[in-house]
Amino acid sequence: MTRFPWQERNGRFSPLKAVCFAALFLPGLWVLGQALLGQLGPRPVTEAIHELGLWTIRLLFLTLAITPLRAAWRWPQLILVRRMIGVAAFCYVVAHVSGYVVDQGFDLAKVLSEIVSRFYLTFGAIAVLGLAALAATSTDGMIRRLGGRKWRRLHQLGYGIAVLASIHYFMQSKLFVDEATVMGGLYLWLMGYRLLAWRGPVPLWRLAALSVAASALTALGEAGYYALTRGVDLGRVLAANFTTVTGIRPAVYVLGITLAVTLVALLRAAPLRAGQRARA
Ligand code: HEM
C-alpha cells in the first residue's frame, strides 16, 4: 500500500509528520527564494553551498537528537519523524554537493581531484557516502530485509558520519569556528546521553549534570584550540565564557540548548509526579 509522508503505518493522518514534512522544505525554499531574488550576495553559489551545508549538519544532529528527546520528553511519537529528518539531511547534502559541482563549472574530474587532495572535502565525501547508505536502507522493505538488529547496527553509522561532517565543517570554517564548536559540544552531549542511557532511564539531575559537563568540555576545547593555533592564553579564552565582550561563547550556547532540553523534560514530568503523589 502506498503511504504518504504524513501518514502513519496504519494509514492514519499524523499532524506531527505533516508539520515536520512541510518544515523540512522551508530552508531549501528560503535558499531558492533568496537566489531567485538575487539576495544571496556577490557569490550566490558559494552562499547557497554554505546555507545548504549548514542545514545538512543541523538536520543530521537533529536526527541523532530524536532518541534522547523522545525519552527525556516522554514523547514516543517523535520516532515517527526520525527517518524523515535523516532522509532530508541526505537531500540537503545532495544539493550542497551539487552546488559545489556547479561552482566548479561541472568539471567532475576537477571535483574528484579536489576531493582527493583536500582533506576537508575527503571527510565530507566519506560522510556523504555514509549518508547515502543510510538513506538507501531507510525504506520499510530494506528494514524488513535486513532485520531490526542489523538495521539498527548499520544505522549506528550515523554517529561516525556526524563526526566526519563536523570535522569537514570545522576545517573549512577557517577563522570563524564558533558554530562548528557548538556542534562539537552538542555531539558530546548526544554521545554522553547514550552512555548514561545504557543503564536505563536517565534521571533529570543526570541530564542537567550532563549539560554542565558538555559545556565545560566545549569551553576547554575552544580554549585549547585558540591556545594551540593562535597562542592565546588559555585562561583568557575560558574567562570569555563569563562575559559578552567577545559575543556569546559556544560553551554558553551548549549549556543553554541542553539545559532547555532538561527544563522541558522537567515540565513534562511535573504532571506525572503530581499524579503519583495524589494516588499515594
Ligand atoms: C555529510 C556531508 C557534508 C556536510 C554535513 C557538509 C556541511 C558543510 C558545512 C556545515 C559547511 C559550512 C557552511 C558555513 O560555514 O556556512 C560546508 C562547507 C562546504 N562544503 Fe560541505 N558538507 C558535506 C559534504 C561535502 C562534500 C562531499 C563536498 C564536496 C565534494 C562539500 C563541499 C563544501 C564546500 C566547497 C564548502 C565551502 C568551503 C569554503 O567556502 O571554503 N561538502 N559543508
Q: How confident is the model at residue 120 (pLDDT cuts 50, 70, 90)?
A: very high
Question: What are the angstrom distances between the C-alpha of 250 and each of 96, 182, 212?
Answer: 25, 5, 13
Supply the pLDDT for residue 279.
72
Supply the pLDDT for residue 139.
87
Question: What are the angstrom distances between the C-alpha of 4 and each of 29, 262, 270?
Answer: 21, 33, 36
Q: What is the pLDDT of residues 59-94, one digit of tens each?
A: 999 999 999 999 999 999 999 999 999 999 999 999
Q: Is the pLDDT of residue 3 over 90?
A: no
Q: Which atom of ligand 1 is nearest to the CA of 54?
A: 10
Q: For ligand 1, is residue 167 a contact (CB within 6 Å)?
A: no
Q: For ligand 1, is residue 180 a contact (CB within 6 Å)?
A: no
Q: For ligand 1, is residue 48 a contact (CB within 6 Å)?
A: no
Cell of 264: 522541558
Supply the pLDDT for residue 101.
98
The CA distance from 123 to 245, in Å, is 34
Q: Cα of 96 to ligand 1 centre, how many Å? A: 7
Q: Is the pLDDT of residue 117 over 90?
A: yes
Q: For ligand 1, is residue 124 a contact (CB within 6 Å)?
A: yes
Nearest-10 crossing angle of helices 79-103, 44-72: 160
Q: Cα of 74 to ligand 1 centre, how many Å? A: 35
3-class secondary-structure state, position 175:
coil
Residues 6+ apart with CB under 8 A from 164: 123, 124, 126, 127, 130
264-278 residues labelled b (16+ CB within 10 A) or e (exposed) = ebeeeeeeeeeeeee
Of 31, 43, 45, 50, best ligand 1 pocket probe by most atoms within 8 Å of the beta carbon? 50
Smallest CA-to-CA distance from 186 within 95, 80, 58, 85 is with: 58
Q: Cα of 163 to ligand 1 centre, how many Å? A: 14
Q: Which residue has the higher pLDDT, 157 or 140?
A: 157
Number of H helices and E strands in the chain, helices first, is 12, 0
